[in-house]
Amino acid sequence: MDFKIGFSNLLKDIPKSRLPESVQPGDVLWFYEDGKVEVDAKERERLSDEIDELMDELWED
């Protein structure tokens, strides 16, 4: 099974076997030249907070 992963302006199919077992939709991933892939939980949290702030601004009265 492959997952569709977004890279800036493109999408690429990545085999599930290359991804950490804990990966979830919305995770920020780092792909290294040696094949290592890691989840960046701090960056996911930062982006989630930024999205929440933008949504709050959009729906303010």
Residue 32, classified by CB atoms within 10 Å of its CB into exposed (0-12), middle (13-18) or buried (19+), is exposed
- pLDDT score of 61: 67
Which residues face 7 on adjacent strands? 10
Residue pLDDT tens, the chain, 61 long: 777 787 878 888 888 899 999 999 889 999 999 989 999 999 999 999 999 999 999 998 6
Domain count, the chain: 1
Look up the domain containing 36 and give its range: 2-58
